[in-house]
């Protein structure tokens, strides 16, 4: 294997012994043989099961390809950052240990990245991802054909406004590693939903992008304990709000020269804010409602352009309404969106 991998894959692991092999093998193996020019960083985030032993087995069997980082438990964000700092590939891809990559799509991605001119590497590569709902035995592919011209290097001004439900989530993103480092990204410890920070903070430092329309990332959903499960999200509302505030602080539209990128990041922040406020309503507690009001006041005080953009959205009007009828409307709207996009 060459000393400089094309892609470093960061796999955060916490008590992942039951399913981590599937994730690792989906990166590592091509027709039963180990791939070349890749690096796999397995981050054991203080697991108490067999995660460490399994990770070390892979490291021993595939020296120079698989590297293990072990640390006390710091949460998903801390594990991702440990992997980022340990990586030395040209590009970075995060794969959660309960998800997997499609083998054929990965082969095409590696071939595509290898074909990029060394002096003209895109800052960002986008691929499709798939919501794979095991409980319903259904999946839904999320792609960007109507937003991003495929198979050529672009600037942001050649990108259209994303459609509803087709945002550039962490599952779709392959960053040039230098972009992540130069962005100063730091993910908070012991906090869920930091993938929204990963998908937005380095993004504002990208100038060029490339879209490869292949279903690379399979995102498994439908488990009761997942962070995107409605009951779990309500119980972790404080963490969602913490991430939302960081996004508000980090987005400075005056520093973004591309109108298209500026518009996208503003829109993405309004979506995340709407999600936070929706769960503040769904929680049905006075404390949660107060937290929602505080978030909106924080948005207005710390990022007025984003506040103004949020106030122009239909969801803003719905969330501003009072009374049981308004709350029923919010619940119904959320249920329709959840069913339409099958995200939990």
Final residue of a structural domain among 221, 256, 288: 221
- Looking at the DSSP bridge assignments, the partners of residue 128 are 215
pLDDT at 93 over 90: yes
What tens digit of pLDDT does each residue of 49-90 get? Answer: 999 999 999 999 999 999 999 999 999 999 999 999 999 999
Domains in the chain: how many in total? 2
**Structural domain includes residue 234:** yes
Which of 236-240, 265-269, 280-284 has the weakest average pLDDT? 280-284
Q: In terms of residue numbers, what domain contains 159?
A: 7-221
If asked whether residues 47 and 172 sit together in one domain, one would say yes
How much is the pLDDT for 261?
Answer: 96
Classify residue 340 as exposed, middle or buried by CB count within 10 Å of its CB (0-12, 13-18, 19+).
exposed
Residues 214 and 259 placed together within one structural domain of the fold: no
pLDDT in tens, 165-209: 779 999 999 999 999 999 999 999 999 999 999 999 999 999 999
pLDDT of residue 234: 87
**86 and 42, same structural domain?**
yes
169 and 245 share a domain? no
Same domain, 205 and 266: no
Q: Which of 156, 191, 221 is the last residue of a domain?
A: 221
User: Is 2 part of a structural domain of the chain?
Assistant: no
Weakest mean pLDDT among 12-16, 32-36, 98-102, 235-239: 32-36
Q: Of 85-94, 137-146, 210-219, 317-326, where does mean pLDDT reach its minimum?
A: 317-326
- 71 plus 175 within the same structural domain: yes
The predicted pLDDT at position 341 comes to 47
In a domain, 93, yes or no: yes
Model confidence band, residue 329 (pLDDT cutoffs 50, 70, 90): low
Question: 230-258 burial string, b = 16+ CB within 10 Å, else e?
Answer: eeebbebbebbbbbbbbbbebbebeebeb
Judged against a pLDDT cut of 60, whether residue 226 lies above it is answered with no
Q: Nearest Cα to 245, choosing from 203, 191, 206, 284?
A: 191
Co-location of 203 and 105 in the same domain: yes
Least confident of 15-29, 49-63, 109-123, 266-280: 266-280
The pLDDT score that the predictor gives to residue 221 is 86
The residue out of 221, 239, 274 marking a domain boundary is 221
Judged against a pLDDT cut of 70, whether residue 162 lies above it is answered with: yes
Residue 103 confidence (pLDDT): 96
State which H helix or E strand residue 33 sits in. strand 33-34
Residue 42 pairs in a beta bridge with 11, 68
Identify which has the larger pLDDT, 300 or 338.
300
- pTM, to two decimals: 0.92
Q: State residue 342's pLDDT score.
A: 46
In whole angstroms, how far apart are CA 256 and each of 27, 122, 326?
35, 18, 36
**130 and 252 share one domain:** no
Residues 148 and 249 in one domain: no
* Residue 98 lies inside a defined structural domain of this protein: yes
- 13 φ, ψ to 5°? -130, 125
Q: Which residue has the higher pLDDT, 300 or 231?
A: 300
State the CATH number of the domain containing residue 116. 3.90.550.10
Query: What is the average per-residue pLDDT within 300-312?
Result: 95
Checking if the pLDDT of 32 tops 70, the result is: yes
Q: Does one domain contain both 279 and 158?
A: no
In a domain, 188, yes or no: yes
**Does residue 225 register a pLDDT over 70?**
no
Is residue 155 located within the same domain as residue 18? Answer: yes
How far, in Å, CA of 142 to CA of 135, rounded?
19
* pLDDT, mean of residues 242-268: 95
Quick check: is 14 in a domain?
yes
Looking at the structure, tell me whether residues 148 and 182 fall in a common domain.
yes
CB 41 within 8 A of CB 67: yes
The predicted structure's pLDDT at residue 315: 75
């Amino acid at each position: 294997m060459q000393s400089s991998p094309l892609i470093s894959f960061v796999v955060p692991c916490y008590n992942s012994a039951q399913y981590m092999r599937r994730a690792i093998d989906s990166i590592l193996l091509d027709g039963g043989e180990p791939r070349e020019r890749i690096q796999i960083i397995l981050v054991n985030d203080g697991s108490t099961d067999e995660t460490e032993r399994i990770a070390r087995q892979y490291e021993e069997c595939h020296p120079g390809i698989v590297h293990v980082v072990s640390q006390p438990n710091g949460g998903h964000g801390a594990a991702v950052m440990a992997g980022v700092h340990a990586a030395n590939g040209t590009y970075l891809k995060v794969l959660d240990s309960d998800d997997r990559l499609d083998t054929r799509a990965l082969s095409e991605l590696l071939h595509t990245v290898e074909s990029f001119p060394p002096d003209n590497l895109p800052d960002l590569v986008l691929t499709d991802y798939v919501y794979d709902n095991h409980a319903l035995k259904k999946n839904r592919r999320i792609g960007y054909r109507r937003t991003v011209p495929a198979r050529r290097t672009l600037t942001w001004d050649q990108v259209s406004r994303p459609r509803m439900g087709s945002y550039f989530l962490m599952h779709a993103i392959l960053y040039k590693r230098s972009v992540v480092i130069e962005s100063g990204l730091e993910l908070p410890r012991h906090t869920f939903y930091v993938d929204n920070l990963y998908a937005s903070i380095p993004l504002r430092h990208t100038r060029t992008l490339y879209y490869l329309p292949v279903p690379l990332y399979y995102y498994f959903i439908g488990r009761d304990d997942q962070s995107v499960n409605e009951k779990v999200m309500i119980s972790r509302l404080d963490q969602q709000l913490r991430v939302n505030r960081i996004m508000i602080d980090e987005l400075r539209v005056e520093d973004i020269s591309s109108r298209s990128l500026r518009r996208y990041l503003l829109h993405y922040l309004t979506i995340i804010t709407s999600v936070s406020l929706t769960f503040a309503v769904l929680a049905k507690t006075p404390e949660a409602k107060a937290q929602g009001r505080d978030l909106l006041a924080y948005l207005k005080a710390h990022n007025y352009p984003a506040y103004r953009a949020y106030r122009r959205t239909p969801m803003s009007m719905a969330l501003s309404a009072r009374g049981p009828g308004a709350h029923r409307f919010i619940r119904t709207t959320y249920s329709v969106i959840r069913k339409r996009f099958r995200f939990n």
